[in-house]
Structure 1
């Protein structure tokens, strides 16, 4: 065989080997990517504040006992007798007297988060509640919050309402607006404030898809963990009912049950009841190692 032909044959064999190696490498990368897309995610810790329950244990006890936490609108929110009318067409009135409400939403440990009193007064209580509940969730996961500085912690928050901004501006001129007013009531700032407090560098965002906001936040947190964007993720949802306007709107849309009771899948279903709360879960890739009691999501 002439030397030139032999050289060409050897070059062809070498090219085929390189192509085969590339195919194997691509197959390995594809398998890794497909595996990452379904990596099990573990719930390493959680915390919550719900009507009648200030932590997961008391919430579980409430569910197990079948206790109902729905009450009439408390007077510290608004005077229900002034705003209520059973006729949903009555202008400026709400057709439901009911809701699920938290206690002590005006309380906040501002000093713990190095927030001044003046800034705290302008800060939406939903942001305050998120800060405190997230701290408790991290502790429940066995993570010291002050150990997260500079870490890739993802923060995904479901938040839809901004009643507090409405209350702050009600009946006032523009003189109430200070340096803290806008950022203290911007929905987009809730997650960033938490990231700033912890000193983290991961993905940080607020999701508003109405009733599904916290579920979408959970979905995005799981995606972020599976793609390696973050090492640990917080998925949260928070809501407070501080002013009557949105309840009036929902009354006009026939969305609220007059008796304050949801009746899913029932022929007698006639609306739902509004409620408050904050729930936070700490998520990690299961392979990263979590406590034995962690719940693993497929």
Structure 2
């Protein structure tokens, strides 16, 4: 049976932007929740100290990633129009894949790109709600959901463009990585709820073991 090794890792967690920090936070049993602010999410309309209040949350903290609004679009050859409507999950996986390749020493070292695959686990794109708000705003202005709203409410919403759909597809998480890093193996995102990452890892291992042996360079999944 083919031996498989994990040779590169990367991560993004609340208050843990990399593997060493994440490990240290685990050792220290650090609570990495953050107090919610209006700058990140104004949840005043949804907050209630009453835990039994319907359609409300009694929590004022959340596990938040830092600098989610920053992205090296030029490096990853993503146009400004596409970057604005791109699910943060897609942006993060591009950055994390590069960091994992760097950690493995494979960013500049040759490997079998034509046989390397991309396997991700993800459940939902919450960003699609935001990207579709322009359409919903038109419906509101048209009075389809009740008395018309005002155009001021929708002024800052993202415009629709050619990337509005692809920017929110969950499978775009895998295909964006495959496209940029020029990988010729399979590329897809698995949705198995809480087991998504485990299923993706299993699929990656099965794919690697299905390849015929070849001396020299190795594929990556």
**Could you tell me the TM-score, scaled by structure 1's length?**
0.61
Paired with 1:132 and 1:164, the residues of 2 have a C-alpha distance of 18
Deviation at 1:163, TM superposition (A): 1.4
Paired with 1:48 and 1:232, the residues of 2 have a C-alpha distance of 21
Deviation at 1:87, TM superposition (A): 4.2
Deviation string, structure 1 residues 20-39 (Cα, Å, up to 9, x no partner): xxxxxxxxxxxxxxxx2xx4
Alpha carbons of structure 1 residues 43 and 149: separation in structure 2 relative to 1, 3 Å? closer
Choose 1 or 2 for highest CA Rg: 1
Equivalenced residues, count: 197
SS in 2 for 1:44: coil
What residue in structure 1 maps to residue 123 of structure 2? 160
Deviation at 1:58, TM superposition (A): 1.1
Indicate conservation of the 8 Å contact 1:148/1:198, yes or no: no
What residue in structure 2 maps to residue 256 of structure 1? none
* RMSD of aligned alpha carbons: 2.3
What residue in structure 2 maps to residue 70 of structure 1? 33
What residue in structure 2 maps to residue 81 of structure 1? 44
Task: Give the number of the structure whose residues are more often helix, by fraction.
Answer: 1
Gaps of 5+ in 2: 140-157
Among 137, 141, 157, the alignment partner of 1:172 is 137
1:200 pairs with 2:163: no
Gaps of 5+ in 1: 1-35, 235-298
Alpha carbons of structure 1 residues 229 and 218: separation in structure 2 relative to 1, 3 Å? farther
Deviation at 1:40, TM superposition (A): 3.4
Indicate conservation of the 8 Å contact 2:73/2:80, yes or no: yes
Deviation string, structure 1 residues 51-101 (Cα, Å, up to 9, x no partner): 111111111111112211022334333223321224455343124333211
Task: Give the number of the structure whose residues are more often strand, by fraction.
Answer: 1
What residue in structure 1 maps to residue 96 of structure 2? 133
Alignment of structure 1 residues 208-227 onto 2, 5 Å: 208-227=191-210
Deviation string, structure 1 residues 188-223 (Cα, Å, up to 9, x no partner): 121111101011111111011111111111111111
Higher relative contact order (CA 8 A, sep 6+): 1
Deviation string, structure 1 residues 236-267 (Cα, Å, up to 9, x no partner): xxxxxxxxxxxxxxxxxxxxxxxxxxxxxxxx
What residue in structure 1 maps to residue 14 of structure 2? 51
**Could you tell me the TM-score, scaled by structure 2's length?**
0.80
Paired with 1:137 and 1:212, the residues of 2 have a C-alpha distance of 22
